[in-house]
Amino acid sequence: MASDTTLPSFKPLYQQVRERLVGRLIDGTWPPGMALPSEQQLAHELGVSQGTVRKALDAMSSEHLLVRAQGRGTFVADVEDTRILFRYLRLVGDDGRRLVPESKVTSVRQHKATEPARTRLELPRGSNVWTIERTRQMDDRVSIVETILVSAKRFPGLDRFSPLPNHIYSLYGSRYGIIIGRVIEQLKAIGASAKDAALLGCEPGAPLLHIERTALGLDGVPAEWRISRCLTDNFHYLSDL
Amino acid sequence: MASDTTLPSFKPLYQQVRERLVGRLIDGTWPPGMALPSEQQLAHELGVSQGTVRKALDAMSSEHLLVRAQGRGTFVADVEDTRILFRYLRLVGDDGRRLVPESKVTSVRQHKATEPARTRLELPRGSNVWTIERTRQMDDRVSIVETILVSAKRFPGLDRFSPLPNHIYSLYGSRYGIIIGRVIEQLKAIGASAKDAALLGCEPGAPLLHIERTALGLDGVPAEWRISRCLTDNFHYLSDL
DNA sequence: TAGTGGTCTAGACCACGAC
DNA sequence: TCGTGGTCTAGACCACTAT
């Protein structure tokens, strides 16, 4: 046998349908915001019952890949959509307001990937990456310093898009066809470095919320590595379990 | 009209079934770990089709209230269950190991609830609360200081259970019939107080991860308010979105 | 009014676990 | 071998949206 781990010898039809439909999201057949054919049409086209198509669509809906609305139809999830926007935006004001931090890019440069960057982005030795540095402010107060790394090969000519949009995932989708489907974040408390302290207007060593994010594409491959340092005086990170 | 918010004029049958079944979890008819009747039996008993029961059970399963296993049956989720244990335990070692911190209770006392405690626990003016203080250690190193508040009325005689178990939610369930169904956490970075610094063996002002948790019972009422201060030198908080 | 997704039903068959 | 949950189908009807 090629493998000693027992693989499921059986794959449900609705999962196969799901994979075919996800494929159409990956290859751009159905771009973000577009309406899908009706359940009936899909069922006929794929040669399965409507119930099976429904189960695949429901699964993708619960993964936030699709948005379904009774009476209107089924649509490809769009990062610009307010229902999707706050999925990856966990910062909330202490008074309960959802905050959308405005960004100011301070540098975009290409260089050889360091070893941790290669590991996180699963890149081969010698790969190049883009490093984007930016600050983000909420209520006219700089409170986040952010470093974003992506593969230079997967994002050619990234420096041409200037200024980079606030919601950078919409750029990944519209310009590079890379749609973020999952995000893993690791949180710590750290002391501010001298450099970050200067940008944030706080004392060096001041406590910052350190968020290290790995964003995966629909194919499960890491597309972005991001480190944010946040001065959480007036807001917090919300986790709903 | 009594209310100006338009309520859904229609409640699906499977949701009504779900509510009846959740009721049996709340009233203790089906305690944690117990096997439920089969889908067929429930369908017959409730006078609906098996498909409708299935949809209710699937919903409760995705809320982590039930655990289903093909060929075995459907079981009430148990905090002791390893599949459930890590649901509310988001701390992971930097090397990827899931860590279960051991607890040492330093004080259990009853007193009048402060205003923020009353707000968080939705208690009337003049209510009493229990305050539990404890430290938690991972790899023989004290790294968490925790303050837990619960209503004295809902948890009578809590001080009789000594020592309090490490997984305090199993005590809530087995002794008071209060099952935690949802947890909301707010994270910040703060500087260590002199008292916490002494307990954690760090400098005052050292950066700590501040986790404020509100735990809700199956009925949606807040049952516990908890504040943890964590020295995140060797571990982090994991958030999978 | 037409078309969409959402609910509900009934029944057949399959995969899995326990005995 | 039996009973469980899981899959798949087919069809009827309901709630909602757009026009």
- A24 vs A15: CA distance, rounded Å: 14
* Beta-carbon separation of A186 and B88 below 8 A: no
Instruction: Say which DSSP state B232 is in.
Output: -
Same domain, A221 and A124: yes
Buried b (16+ CB within 10 A) or exposed e, B60-85: beeeebbbeeeeeebbbbbbeeeebb
The answer to whether residue B111 scores a pLDDT higher than 60 is yes
What is the total count of domains within chain B? 2
Give backbone dihedrals phi and psi of B114, rounded to 5 degrees, phi first: -75, 170
Evaluate whether residue A162 is within a structural domain: yes
A83-102: average pLDDT: 87
* φ/ψ of residue A137, rounded to 5: -125, 145
Looking at strand C, which nucleotides approach a protein CB closer than 7 A? 3-11, 14-18
Judgement on whether residues B94 and B192 belong to the same structural domain of the protein:
yes
The last residue of one of the domains, among A76, A96, A131, is: A76
B218 contacts B181 by C-beta, under 8 angstroms: yes
**pLDDT score at A4:** 37
DSSP state of B119: H
What is the C-alpha to C-alpha distance for residues B80 and B198, in angstroms, rounded to an integer? Answer: 32
Indicate if the pLDDT at residue B84 is higher than 80: no
Say if residue A52 is in the same domain as residue A95: no
Is B3 within a domain?
Answer: no
Q: Are A55 and A121 in a shared domain?
A: no
Q: Which of A9-13, A53-57, A87-91, B233-237 has the lowest mean pLDDT?
A: A9-13
Q: Cis peptide leading into B163, omega within 30 of 0? A: yes
Whether A50 sits with its Cβ under 7 A from any strand D atom: the answer reads yes
Asked if residues B178 and B223 have their Cβ atoms less than 8 Å apart, the reply is yes
CA of B76 to C1' of D6 (A): 19
**Residue A220 burial (CB count, 10 A):** 9
Is A188 close to B236, i.e. CB distance below 8 A?
yes
At B140, the pLDDT band (50, 70, 90 cuts) reads confident
Asked if residue A4 belongs to a domain, the reply is: no
Does some domain include residue A93? yes
State the residue range of the domain holding A43.
13-76
B12 Cβ under 8 Å from any chain A Cβ: no
Could you report the per-residue pLDDT of B23-74, keeping only the tens digit for each? Answer: 999 998 999 999 999 999 999 999 999 999 999 999 999 999 999 999 999 9
Q: Tell me if B22 is assigned to some domain.
A: yes
Q: Do B27 and B107 share a structural domain?
A: no
- pLDDT greater than 50 at residue A201: yes
Phi/psi for A219 (5° steps) reads -85, 0
Please check whether residues A100 and A187 belong to one and the same domain: yes
Least Cα separation, residue B209 to chain A (angstroms): 5
Which of B22, B41, B76 is a domain's end point?
B76
- Are residues B154 and B69 located together in one domain of the fold? no
pLDDT of residue A9: 62
**DSSP structure string for chain A:** ---SS---S---HHHHHHHHHHHHHHTTSS-TTPBPPPHHHHHHHHTS-HHHHHHHHHHHHHTTSEEEETTTEEEE--TTSHHHHTTS--EEETTS-B---EEEEEEEEEEEPPHHHHHHHT--TT-EEEEEEEEEEETTEEEEEEEEEEETTTSTTGGGS-SPPSSHHHHHHHHH---EEEEEEEEEEEEPPHHHHHHHTS-TT-EEEEEEEEEEETTS-EEEEEEEEE--SSEEEEEE-
> Which alpha helices (H) appear in chain B, and where do they start and end?
13-26, 39-46, 50-62, 82-85, 115-121, 168-176, 194-200
Three-class DSSP category at B209: strand
Give the global pTM.
Answer: 0.88
Polymer length of chain B: 241
- How does B211-223 read in b/e, with b if 16+ C-beta sit within 10 Å? bbbbbebbeeebb
Please check whether residues B106 and B186 belong to one and the same domain: yes
| Cβ B183 vs Cβ B177: under 8 Å | no
Q: How close B215 gets to chain A, by Cα (Å)?
A: 10
| pLDDT at residue A5 is higher than 50 | no
Q: How far apart are CA B191 and CA A205, in angstroms?
A: 10
Residue nearest to nucleotide D16 (CA to C1'): A71
Domain of B204, CATH number, reads 3.40.1410.10
pLDDT at residue A133 is higher than 80: yes
Instruction: Output the pLDDT for position B9.
Output: 63
What's the burial of B11, exposed, middle or buried (CB within 10 Å: 0-12/13-18/19+)? exposed
Q: What is the least distance, in Å, from the CA of A69 to any CA of chain B?
A: 15
Instruction: Give the separation between CA A212 and CA A173, rounded to whole angstroms.
Output: 21
- B210 vs A230: CB contact, 8 Å cut-off? no
Nucleic strand D near CB of residue B40 (< 7 Å)? yes
CB B108 within 8 A of CB B158: yes
In a domain, B7, yes or no: no
Buried-state track B161-180, b at ≥16 Cβ within 10 A, e below 16: eeebeebbbbbbbeebebbb
pLDDT of residue B98: 86
Chain A residues inside the 8 Å CB shell of B88: 241
Is the bond preceding residue A163 a cis peptide, omega within 30 degrees? Answer: yes
Closest residue (CA to C1') to nucleotide C8 in the complex: B52
On whether both B203 and B229 belong to a single domain, the answer is yes
| B10 pLDDT higher than 90 | no
Return the higher-pLDDT residue of A99 and A142.
A142
The verdict on A79 touching B (C-beta cutoff 8 Å) is: no
Name the residue type at position B42: L
First to last CA, chain B: 40
What does the alpha-carbon distance between residue A95 and residue B136 come to, in Å, rounded to a whole number? 30
| Three-state secondary structure call for residue B226 | strand
Same domain, A58 and A117: no
Any idea what the CATH number is for the domain that residue A32 is in?
1.10.10.10
Residue B89 within any structural domain of the chain: yes
Q: In terms of Cα–Cα distance, which of B78, B69, B49, B46 is closest to B174?
A: B78
Beta-sheet strands, E only, within chain B: 66-69, 73-76, 91-93, 102-112, 128-138, 141-151, 180-191, 207-217, 222-230, 235-240
Contact predicate A192/A205, CB 8 Å: yes
Residue B149 near residue B134 (C-beta atoms within 8 A): no
A130 with A112: CB under 8 angstroms?
A: no
In the structure encoding, which two tokens stand for residue B226, read together?
């908890």
- B29, B45, B76: which is the final residue of a domain? B76
A57, A112: one domain:
no
So what's the pLDDT on residue A3? 38
- Going by pLDDT thresholds of 50, 70 and 90, the confidence category of residue A196 is very high
Pair (A50, A121) in one structural domain: no
In a domain, A2, yes or no: no
